[in-house]
Amino acid sequence: MTKKRVALITGAGRGIGRGIALELSKNGFALAGCDILYAPRERKTGLFEVKAAVEKLGGEFLPLRGDIASLGDHEIILRAVLRKFGRLDVLVNNAGVAPEVRRDILETTPESYDRVLSVNARGAFFLTQKAAKEMIALVKKDPAAKPAIIFISSISAAVSSTARAEYCISKAALSMAAKVYADRLAEFGISVYEVRPGIIRTDMTEPVREKYDKLLAEGLVPQRRWGFPEDVGKVVAALAAGAFLYSTGLVLEVSGGMDIRRL
């Protein structure tokens, strides 16, 4: 069993997941990261680029293939983490997808709805269920352990976008999942948090970059800039490290002030 605390990050191969991995590594965590894309020969992007970046920082990163929408993959992922490290201290539910096509809510298709909800909400819910049981066992064996589960939702959990209703609904569901797990797991000393990123510069937002460049310049975000994966990563690292142990259920928005109500 490693002496380091161990974190599992879903959707770790790029974007926010990558930023979280680097910040957790800087804070001394041993890491496992899963992604639906798993290409050992690809070293410029993806899990194995992240592995190299973490190792350059002196850390350890276990890349794992896994589709969070496939419940059968959950047991495989967790067993691999426990086999490698002997424990799981932190789960970061980061994996998520956007609609393949943005459609007005009156044109949303059942296929798109099911796809987005299966990853963003259903998958994260059931992976957390399995991970929580491992964390309960860890606490019983090591009362000094302070496990944490962190849900990466979105400002879309509370802000309407009528051209991607299924995404907003999935993030609202994820937000409630964080609350009910925080409630249920508090007795075991397992902290659960929700982090809500705002407009973050990633591959997912690249198709709407020009739109948001204009909106940012016009003041949509009080801090008038894009957020970056490392902005989210720093918040996750603080939560994972135990900086907010008496705040289970906490919702932290990383949005440059978009939660400020303004005239």
The overall pTM is greater than 0.75 = yes
pLDDT tens digits for range 40-53: 988 889 999 999 99
Is 90 exceeded by the pLDDT of residue 149?
yes
Q: How does the average pLDDT of the chain come out, rounded?
A: 96
pLDDT tens digits for range 185-219: 999 999 999 999 999 999 888 888 999 999 999 99
Is 90 exceeded by the pLDDT of residue 2?
no
pLDDT tens digits for range 80-138: 999 999 999 999 999 999 999 999 999 999 999 999 999 999 999 999 999 999 999 99
φ/ψ (deg, to 5) at 201: -80, 105
Question: Is the Cβ–Cβ distance between 53 and 27 less than 8 Å?
Answer: no
**Where residue 77 falls among pLDDT bands split at 50, 70, 90?**
very high
Question: Is the Cβ–Cβ distance between 119 and 97 less than 8 Å?
Answer: yes
The pLDDT of residue 205 is: 86
Q: Is 66 helix (H, G, I), strand (E, B) or coil?
A: coil
193 carries an active-site annotation: no
Give me the catalytic one of 167, 181, 193, 212: 167
Query: What domains can you pick out in the chain, each with its CATH number?
Result: 6-254 (3.40.50.720)
Is 90 exceeded by the pLDDT of residue 170?
yes
User: Which residues are 6's β-sheet partners?
Assistant: 30
Measure the CA angle with vertex 99, ends 22 and 62; round to 5°. 25
Radius of gyration (Cα) for the chain, nearest Å?
18
Gap between the Cα atoms of 115 and 118, Å rounded: 5
pLDDT tens digits for range 14-30: 999 999 999 999 999 99
* CA 195, 157, 261, 223 torsion-angle sign: positive
Question: Is the Cβ–Cβ distance between 68 and 130 less than 8 Å?
Answer: no
